[in-house]
């Protein structure tokens, strides 16, 4: 196995003026940089043909196994521009490790962590001009892997393609740090213990869309998933984990086996302690959520994830009724943690935990 990535850069990158126009208002996941990294795995040969090539469409056989049986996994991490003009990514080794866990669950080959990190590094170095230089913007990296074998037999494929693409990212939610409204999904479930909920696999997101649509029909921005057995223990949101703020004690749902172990969630357990809060993993039911909001002990709720950073939760709607956190305004602890995380990532604060991977 080699971590050497052959560089075959584009002869026609996007002109500077067009790239700058995109960076002025990137949105989320709408524009892609000039290059991508590609590595192939073949049974008996392992990982080979690692290369950085111009971003381009792939040609797909109609009988490609992924199209039929969804053997596919992905990751999400960001590269940030630092005050001195250099670029760094946030905890890429944690994404590499989660990618291996997802691969095991989907019966796919594990990509060595060094190759995962080298692929992200080469792409960011090549497309450095695409890393936004202002405010809270960043370059979102999307490593992913899928079955590349052609055939209709239901079994692990004998060939896979690992790719990394990159997309400049502004705010995930259009309203910026405006609190989002959430719908507690009681009819649909995202995942069960023993299922694929802890893996970052496309099928989890496909299965979530009908509930996300139900949330939108109820006038909400996002769906909140509950446990699949009792339908009362809060798990996570569409693409984010959740935190409950009880004064200076913050609590996030424990890793039940059916929710995604978010890297932002994990980082905040440490960052909150740095800020003098108590940070815990625990169980929160929908009844706790409503009651503790109404009796004033649950002061704030927020969602966290790579794409969404930290986003306050405002209105909560469920079959039991509707309530609002903190008068619908972003809470003080939420905003303090958000600033601490963004300062660390952008280089405005010291990286005391060694989380930034400087390129
Ligand atoms: N939960 C789900 C379902 C997600 O898709 C994500 C996003 O990656 C998260 C939680 C947050 O994870 P992370 O903080 O690693 O981005
Ligand atoms: C991320 O935050 O990286 C996610 O994967 C969330 C969503 C875009 C799927």
Whose CA is closest to 341, among 331, 332, 351?
351
Kindly report which listed range (59-73, 164-178, 338-352) carries the lowest average pLDDT score. 164-178
Q: What is the pLDDT of residue 175?
A: 63
Helices and strands, number each (H, E), in the chain: 8, 18
Contact assessment for residue 351 and residue 87, using Cβ atoms and an 8 Å cutoff? no
Say if residue 2's pLDDT is above 60: no
pLDDT value, residue 238: 84
Residues 6+ apart with CB under 8 A from 21: none
Closest residue by Cα to atom 7, ligand 1, is 239
Token reading at 341:
């995380």
pLDDT over threshold 70, residue 174: no
The separation between the first and the last C-alpha atoms of the chain, rounded to the nearest angstrom, is: 23
What's the average model confidence in pLDDT over 85-97? Answer: 97
Helix (H/G/I), strand (E/B), else coil: 254: coil
Indicate whether 1 pLDDT > 80.
no
Distance CA 199, CA 124 (A): 25
pLDDT band (50, 70, 90) for residue 173? low
Residue with the smallest CA separation from ligand 2 atom 3 is: 76
Mean pLDDT in residue range 8-35: 95
Mean pLDDT of 274-293: 96
Average pLDDT over residues 99-128: 98
Q: Considering every ligand atom, which ligand is closest to the CA of 241? A: 1
User: Among the atoms of ligand 1, which is closest to the Cα of residue 208?
Assistant: 3
Euclidean distance between CA atoms 68 and 73, whole angstroms: 15
Give percent of the chain above pLDDT 70: 98
Give, in order, the Cα–Cα distances in Å from 203 to each of 32, 116, 209, 264. 23, 22, 10, 22
Tens of pLDDT, residues 115-137: 999 999 999 999 999 999 877 89
Report how far ligand 2's centroid is from the alpha carbon of 307 (Å). Answer: 5
Nearest-ligand number for the alpha carbon of 252: 1
Q: Give the Cα separation of 359 and 349 in Å (integer).
A: 18
Query: What is the Å distance from ligand 2's center to 78 Cα?
Result: 11
Q: Does residue 306 have its Cβ closer than 6 Å to ligand 1?
A: yes
Predicted model pTM: 0.96
Q: Contact at 8 Å (CB) between 237 and 303?
A: yes
Q: Please tell me the distance between residue 272's alpha carbon and the centre of ligand 1 in angstroms.
A: 18
Contact 238 CB / ligand 2 (< 6 Å): no
pLDDT digits (tens, 9 = 90+) for 192-234: 999 999 999 999 999 999 999 999 999 999 999 999 999 999 9
Name the burial class of residue 226, with classes exposed (0-12), middle (13-18) and buried (19+) by CB atoms within 10 angstroms of its CB.
Answer: buried
Å from CA of 265 to ligand 1 middle: 8
Q: Among candidates 245, 266, 273, which has minimal Cα distance to 334?
A: 245
Average pLDDT (158-182) is 88
Across the chain, what does the average pLDDT equal?
A: 95
Q: Is 235 in the pocket of ligand 1 (CB under 6 A)?
A: no
306 in contact with ligand 2, CB cutoff 6 A: yes
- Give the per-residue pLDDT at 305: 97
Whether 297 has a pLDDT exceeding 90, the answer reads: yes
Residue 66 clears pLDDT 80, i.e. is over it: yes
pLDDT score for 234: 97
Query: What is the pairing mode between strands 6-7 and 46-54?
Result: parallel
Q: What angle do CA 27, 142, 209 make, to 5 degrees?
A: 70
Tell me: pLDDT of 172 over 80: no
Instruction: Identify which has the larger pLDDT, 122 or 172.
Output: 122
Determine the pLDDT at residue 176. Answer: 66
Residue 3: pLDDT above 90? no
Instruction: Point out the ligand 2 atom lying closest to the alpha carbon of residue 307.
Output: 2
């Amino acid at each position: 196995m080699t971590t050497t990535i052959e560089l075959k850069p584009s002869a026609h990158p996007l002109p500077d003026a067009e790239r700058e126009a995109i960076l002025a208002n990137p949105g989320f996941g709408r524009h892609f940089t000039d290059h991508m990294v590609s590595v192939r795995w073949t049974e008996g040969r392992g990982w080979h043909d690692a290369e950085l090539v111009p971003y381009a469409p792939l040609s797909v056989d109609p009988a490609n196994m992924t199209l039929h049986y969804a053997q596919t996994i992905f990751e999400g991490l960001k590269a940030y521009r630092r005050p001195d003009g250099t670029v760094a990514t946030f905890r890429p080794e944690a994404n590499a490790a989660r990618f291996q866990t997802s691969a095991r669950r989907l019966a796919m080959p594990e990509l060595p962590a060094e190759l995962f990190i080298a692929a992200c590094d080469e792409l960011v170095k090549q497309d450095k001009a695409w890393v936004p230089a202002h405010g809270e913007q960043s370059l979102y990296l999307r490593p992913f892997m899928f079955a590349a074998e052609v055939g209709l037999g239901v079994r692990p494929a004998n060939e896979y393609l690992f790719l990394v693409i990159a997309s400049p990212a502004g705010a995930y939610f259009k309203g910026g740090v405006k609190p989002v409204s959430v719908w507690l999904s009681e009819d649909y479930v995202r995942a069960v213990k023993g299922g694929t909920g802890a893996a970052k696999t496309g099928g989890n997101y496909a299965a979530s869309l009908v509930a996300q649509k139900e949330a939108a029909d109820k006038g909400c921005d996002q769906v909140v998933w509950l446990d699949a057995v009792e339908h009362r223990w809060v798990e996570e949101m569409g693409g984010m984990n959740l935190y409950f703020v009880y004064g200076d004690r913050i609590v996030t749902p424990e890793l039940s086996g059916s929710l995604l172990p978010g890297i932002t969630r994990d980082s905040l357990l440490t960052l909150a302690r740095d800020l003098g809060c108590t940070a815990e993993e625990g169980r929160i039911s929908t009844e706790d959520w409503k009651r503790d909001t109404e009796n004033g002990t649950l002061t704030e709720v927020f969602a966290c994830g790579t794409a969404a950073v930290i986003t306050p939760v405002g209105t909560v709607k469920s079959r039991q009724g509707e309530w609002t956190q903190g008068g619908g305004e972003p809470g003080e602890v939420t905003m303090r943690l958000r600033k601490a995380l963004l300062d660390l990532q952008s280089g405005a604060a010291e990286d005391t935990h060694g989380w930034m991977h400087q390129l």
